[in-house]
Amino acid sequence: MHTLDDNLSHVLSRMQAAAGRVGRSLDELKLIAVSKKQSAAAMRELFAAGQRAFGESYLQEALDKQQELSDLAIEWHFIGPIQSNKTRAIAEHFSWVHSVDRHKIAQRLNDQRPEHLPPLNICLQINIDQETTKSGVLAEDLPALAEAVSKLPRLRLRGLMAIPAPRDDYDGQLAAFAELRKLLEELQGQLKDAPLDSLSMGMSGDLEAAIAAGATMVRVGTDLFGARD
């Protein structure tokens, strides 16, 4: 049985090794601890080990844990599917949202972001493998969505997120992540004034390939906390 402290060190050294192989450094990467279905106590332990950014997929669960952990300076990331009736609480209680894939949701987050908070950081979620069951905007619809989102003053469009279909081979993983990076580069050309500096990609099983392809944020759950129920 490994402690969360050990797990965190292990994930950070995997990230460092992956970055080093392509001439990048750990400083360019943010680790997001995906704490969905994990206890507030486990999160507190990981925070004590030095982890600051946490990602949640289920709003009510996240709000409950935010209450319990309100004494900790956590940076909260929302990474799950977003229904319209959840946007107000998301706009009020998170610093980042990685899973915006339609204009209506972006508009609501913009309108509901409280004035006393800085603009909400946004990644647009791309359906990179064009899977009919997955959330995310299709690549062909990205330019129009990004253009609209970049004009919303209470949002800050930072980049792209994707959850590629699972692949066992490193080269296949790399190809999917490289596709996302290419989309970000195209967007940087299209929207010259937007602060497009973020690629949220890579999870427990494929973070090495994601970092090789240019990830700036990796979202890791299982390899930090252990299996979810």
Ligand X SMILES: *Cc1c(COP(=O)(O)O)cnc(C)c1O
Which one-letter amino acid corresponds to residue 31?
A: L
Instruction: Report the residue count for the chain.
Output: 229
Q: Which stretch binds ligand X (CB under 6 A): 9-17, 128-136, 176-184, 200-208?
A: 200-208
163 binds ligand X (CB under 6 A): yes
**162 or 196: CB nearest ligand X:** 162
* 64, 45 Cβ separation under 8 angstroms: no
Task: Give ∠ CA 144-77-23 in degrees, rounded to 5.
Answer: 80
30 binds ligand X (CB under 6 A): no
**20 or 226: CB nearest ligand X:** 226
136 binds ligand X (CB under 6 A): no
CA 116 to CA 5: how far, in whole Å?
35
220 binds ligand X (CB under 6 A): yes
**188 or 222: CB nearest ligand X:** 222
131 binds ligand X (CB under 6 A): no
Q: Where are the extended beta strands (E) located within 70-151?
A: 75-78, 96-100, 120-126
CA 149 to CA 100: how far, in whole Å?
10
The correct pick among 51, 57, 121, 216 for binding ligand X (CB under 6 A) is 57
Q: How far is the CB of 203 from ligand X (least distance, A)?
A: 4
Question: At what angle are helices 142-150 and 103-112 packed, to 10 degrees?
Answer: 10
Site of interaction with ligand X (CB under 6 A): 34, 36, 57, 79, 163, 203-205, 219-223
